């Protein structure tokens, strides 16, 4: 009888082991990809995270970038310790006097957030003086310093941050320019959208993509 019990126990253990082998481990879903922006110039590349807390500006910038709208536009206004400004389609033509006046023909409602400040590397939306603080449909600026742009807080929409390539801002902002702060030589940009996971963003740019 003991032999029978021992046989049954061994049989049950064997069956349990076989069932355990048949269990298929649950697949871990791949980490979702995020849209980030690469702005390329002759002085290097900047990689930018667009804040999800400012969705209207984020979506508009991505749309224009994917359409190639910004390609061959220039940084048409540069001020040391303040910012570099670009994104005007007029800067593609040969008339320097109309730079800063162009756009896609619409504005974007302000998305000013108290928690998002102007700091070195911050991406902000340029605008004309208007009571609702609506932003230009395409023109943007990138802060060269935190102290020099603090005056813009709560007046202009900040919608992104340069994760890597802030040294490019340093190189652009010191170029020779005229009395209107326009560079003597065109500083053209190429803009494209890349897709990376937040893990890749941290590894490649040392940036925690949270906002």
- DSSP secondary structure, 81-124, as one string: TTEEEE--GGGGSS-GGGTTS--SS-EE-----TT----TTEEE
Which run of H or E residues covers position 2? helix 2-22
**Distance, CA of 35 to CA of 197 (rounded, Å):** 9
Residues 6+ apart with CB under 8 A from 11: none
- Indicate if the pLDDT at residue 80 is higher than 70: yes
Q: How confident is the model at residue 202 (pLDDT cuts 50, 70, 90)?
A: very high
**Distance, CA of 40 to CA of 81 (rounded, Å):** 21
Chain centre distance of CA 171? 20
More confidently predicted of 187 and 28: 187
Q: How confident is the model at residue 14 (pLDDT cuts 50, 70, 90)?
A: low
pLDDT digits (tens, 9 = 90+) for 140-193: 999 999 999 999 999 999 999 999 999 999 999 999 999 999 999 999 999 999
**Distance, CA of 124 to CA of 135 (rounded, Å):** 9
CATH class of 34-205: mainly beta
Counting residues of the chain whose pLDDT is more than 70, the rounded percentage is 88
- Indicate if the pLDDT at residue 10 is higher than 60: no
Q: What is the mean pLDDT of residues 27-45?
A: 94
Buried b / exposed e over 153-191, threshold 16 CB at 10 Å, is eeebbbbbbbbbbeebbeebbeeebeeebbbeebbbbeb
Taking phi over 0 as left and psi of -120 to 50 as alpha, with beta for the rest, 44 belongs to left
**Distance, CA of 166 to CA of 120 (rounded, Å):** 8
Q: How confident is the model at residue 19 (pLDDT cuts 50, 70, 90)?
A: low
pLDDT digits (tens, 9 = 90+) for 93-144: 989 999 999 999 999 999 999 999 999 999 999 999 999 999 999 999 999 9
- Indicate if the pLDDT at residue 200 is higher than 80: yes
Domain boundaries, the chain: 34-205
Q: What is the mean pLDDT of residues 23-42?
A: 87
The tokens describing 169, both together, are 């801002």
What's the pTM value of the predicted model, to 2 decimals? Answer: 0.86
Residues 6+ apart with CB under 8 A from 164: 46, 47, 204, 205, 206, 207
Mean pLDDT of the chain: 91
**Distance, CA of 80 to CA of 177 (rounded, Å):** 11
- Indicate if the pLDDT at residue 1 is higher than 60: no
Q: How confident is the model at residue 17 (pLDDT cuts 50, 70, 90)?
A: low
């Amino acid at each position: 009888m003991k032999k029978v019990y021992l046989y049954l126990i061994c049989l049950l253990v064997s069956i349990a082991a076989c069932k355990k082998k048949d269990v298929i481990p649950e697949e871990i879903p791949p980490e979702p990809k995020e849209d980030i922006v690469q702005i390329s110039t002759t002085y290097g590349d900047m990689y930018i995270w667009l804040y999800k807390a400012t969705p209207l500006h984020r979506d508009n910038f991505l749309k224009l970038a994917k359409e190639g709208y910004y390609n061959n536009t220039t940084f048409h206004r540069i001020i040391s310790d303040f910012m570099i400004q670009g994104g005007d389609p007029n800067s593609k033509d040969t008339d320097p006097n109309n730079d800063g006046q162009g756009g896609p023909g619409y504005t974007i409602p302000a998305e000013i957030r108290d928690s998002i400040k102007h700091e070195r590397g911050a991406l902000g939306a340029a605008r004309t003086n208007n009571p609702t603080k609506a932003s230009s449909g395409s023109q943007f600026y990138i802060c060269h310093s935190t102290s020099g742009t603090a005056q813009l807080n709560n007046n202009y929409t900040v919608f992104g941050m340069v994760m890597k390539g802030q040294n490019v801002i340093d190189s652009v902002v010191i170029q020779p320019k005229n009395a209107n702060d326009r560079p003597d030589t065109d500083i053209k940009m190429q803009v494209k959208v890349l897709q990376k996971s937040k893990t890749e963003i941290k590894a490649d740019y040392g940036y925690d993509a949270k906002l």
